[in-house]
Amino acid sequence: MRHLISIDDLTDADLRSIVARGTRFAAREHAPPPALAGLVAGIYFRKTSTRTRTAFSSGALRLGARIVTFGPDDLQTNTGETAEDTGRVFARMLDVLVARTAGDPAEMRAWAHGQDRMAVVNAMSADEHPTQALADLVTLSGRFGRIEGLKILYVGEGNNTAAALALALSRFEGVRLELRTPPGYGLADAIRERAARQARDAGAAVAEHHHMDDLPGDFDVVYTTRWETTGTAKPDPDWRTVFTPFRVTAALWEHSPKAVFMHDLPAHRGDEVTAEVLDGPMSIAFDQAENKMHSAMAALEWCRHGTAPTEGAALEDDAATRGGSPGR
């Protein structure tokens, strides 16, 4: 079993394998193999979720797993049990745990520490949303047939979605990621430095500015996220004044007329994006949402197999897990 708590947990080959597999799932080239048959997936969300929770639940079921769900008040961690002890118990009963804490990912690391019986998947922590980045890359791959060489404009807060996107895109040659984030709401320094280092190694470019002036044109993608990230609040009562210049409007398409629009959803029309853009012909935001399921399936397969199995290999592995043989 392999853990997916950060994009950093994936090698370049792993990242490309998951994206390629998710793209094939999205294209519906064949029915998903029962790669998780006989396994049990735990779905544990402390914070609200529509897309990610449904994506992993549906994806696990489509791959043949059974699921057990937990809400924010269901575990004994609320009464003082340690994360380490919780993880030790989970690992004896579950094969994979998909968790959204919206807090410090150290708790997920504690669940994963010292055991290889249960995979842990980060469905969003405070600093990073790695499975969102996988869905985004599957969407880009399906739309453009490649990720290399794409020019992407990200507008809005340097939140956990932006962090994962920067860490993922910076690994692809020729990618240009331009982030425009409000002053005081940019990427964390550590994330920016890691993305810049990866970009230099890969022959990509990552730049961040805190204004909307002098935007280069000819982008392939314009991307934004909601102004208030799930589970967070801004201490500055006047924060909307700072964010307003970063609203995505149709004017951004003046110099990038062929660009598509992406949004991790949920969206607040009139805040981070106008309805004209979100509901317009340039928007692929709801295709992107569907791809959360396809990328979730690919990620779950990776956690189980390391690389995407062939259908025959998956059937043989699952039969061995159940103590039978293929076709029996």
Which CATH number belongs to the domain containing residue 138 in this structure?
3.40.50.1370
Are 271 and 166 members of one domain?
Answer: yes
| Residue 307, burial from CB neighbour count under 10 angstroms (0-12, 13-18, 19+) | middle
Residues 171 and 80 both lie in one domain: no
- What is the DSSP pairing of strand 96-100 with strand 40-45? parallel
| 137 shares a domain with 272 | yes
Tokens 């639940």 appear where? 57
Residue 32 has pLDDT above 50, yes or no: yes
Same domain, 85 and 185: no
Phi, psi dihedral angles at 99 (to 5 degrees): -135, 140
* 227 and 284 part of one domain: yes
- Domain that includes residue 40, residue range: 7-128+292-322
Same domain, 147 and 226: yes
Evaluate whether residue 1 is within a structural domain.
no
Within this chain, do residues 194 and 86 fall inside the same structural domain, yes or no? Answer: no
Taking the C-alpha atoms of residue 268 and residue 273, their distance in angstroms, rounded to an integer, is 7
160 shares its domain with 256? yes
Mean pLDDT of the chain: 92
- In-domain check, residue 328: no
Q: Is the pLDDT of residue 12 over 80?
A: yes
Number of domains forming the structure of the chain: 2
**Residue 2 belongs to some domain of the structure:** no
The model's pLDDT over 128-183, given as tens digits with 9 standing for 90+, comes to 999 999 999 999 999 999 999 999 999 999 999 999 999 999 999 999 999 999 99
Q: Does residue 192 share a domain with residue 100?
A: no
Q: Do both 96 and 223 map to the same domain? A: no
Q: What Å distances lie between residue 305 and 36, 39, 201, 241, CA to CA?
A: 10, 13, 28, 48
The predicted structure's pLDDT at residue 299: 98
Residue 307 confidence (pLDDT)? 60
Entry pTM: 0.91
Residue of 215, 179, 213, 183 lying closest to 196 (CA atoms): 179
282 is a domain residue: yes
Bridge partners, residue 67, by sequence: 41
What is the band of 302 on the pLDDT scale with cuts at 50, 70, 90? very high
Per-residue pLDDT reduced to its tens digit, 229-277: 776 788 899 999 999 999 999 999 999 999 999 999 999 999 999 999 9
